[in-house]
Amino acid sequence: MRKIDEAEPPVRKDVKVGPETTAWLELRSSASEWTPTSVPTASVRRIEVRNRLRGAAEGLLIGGTIGVAAGVIFAAIESGQSGKACSTCGEVATGVLLFGLPGGMLGTFLGGSIGHRIAIDVGAAPSSAAMPSGAGVAPFRTPR
């Protein structure tokens, strides 16, 4: 399905796996329209799906959590240097805003760019001696 020398896989959508054939619509970088493509289902080993929205949500959660933790640590260090206990906890709120918000934004951007990937093994893989490394596996990119 994907040639070894191909730098970026084509964008594919509407994948339908049937008992005899697997079909999808494909948009290559050189073309501007969707082209129907199909292969025998027996030749499909794996389908990979990338979900950018779920990746962005996961990035927000991870980046925001790291940012909030860094903000709390920053606030603890700040209040320790001033020699007073955190009575109003203004330092905590400031630390959470200064670190949590940018951490969440950065996580959302990175997570959305990378996306959440799911690999579905469809069929048995042929022996590794018969097929070069990376051949026959084509990741699917969802349209933007």
- Reported as a single tens digit per residue, the pLDDT across 32-45 is 788 888 989 888 88
Confidence of residue 87 (pLDDT cuts 50, 70, 90): low
**pLDDT value at residue 88:** 58
CA separation (Å) from 125 to 16, 23, 36, 56?
20, 19, 25, 32
Q: Are residues 30 and 67 in the same domain?
A: no
**Do 56 and 94 lie in a common domain?**
yes
| C-alpha to C-alpha distance for 98 and 92, rounded to whole angstroms | 10
Please state the pTM of the whole predicted model. Answer: 0.63
Give 134's pLDDT tier (boundaries 50, 70, 90): very low
72 and 91 inside one domain: yes
Co-location of 68 and 84 in the same domain: yes
**Same domain? 7 vs 61:** no
Task: Identify whether residues 66 and 86 lie together within a single domain.
Answer: yes
Residues 126 and 73 reside in one and the same domain: no
Whether residues 59 and 100 fall in one domain: yes
Q: Are residues 103 and 62 in the same domain?
A: yes
Same domain, 74 and 105: yes
How many folded domains does the chain comprise?
2
DSSP state for residue 48 in the 8-state scheme: E
CB-CB contact of 73 with 25 (8 Å): no
Q: Is residue 130 located within the same domain as residue 79? A: no
Is the pLDDT confidence value at 64 over 90? yes
Domain with 88 in it: 52-114
CB-based contact 135:2 (threshold 8 Å): yes
Q: How far apart are CA 17 and CA 22, in angstroms?
A: 4
Computed over every residue of the chain, the mean pLDDT equals 78
The pLDDT value recorded for residue 133 is 46
Q: How confident is the model at residue 66 (pLDDT cuts 50, 70, 90)?
A: very high
> Residue 31 above 90 pLDDT?
no
**pLDDT of res. 135:** 45
- Whether residues 63 and 107 share a domain: the answer is yes
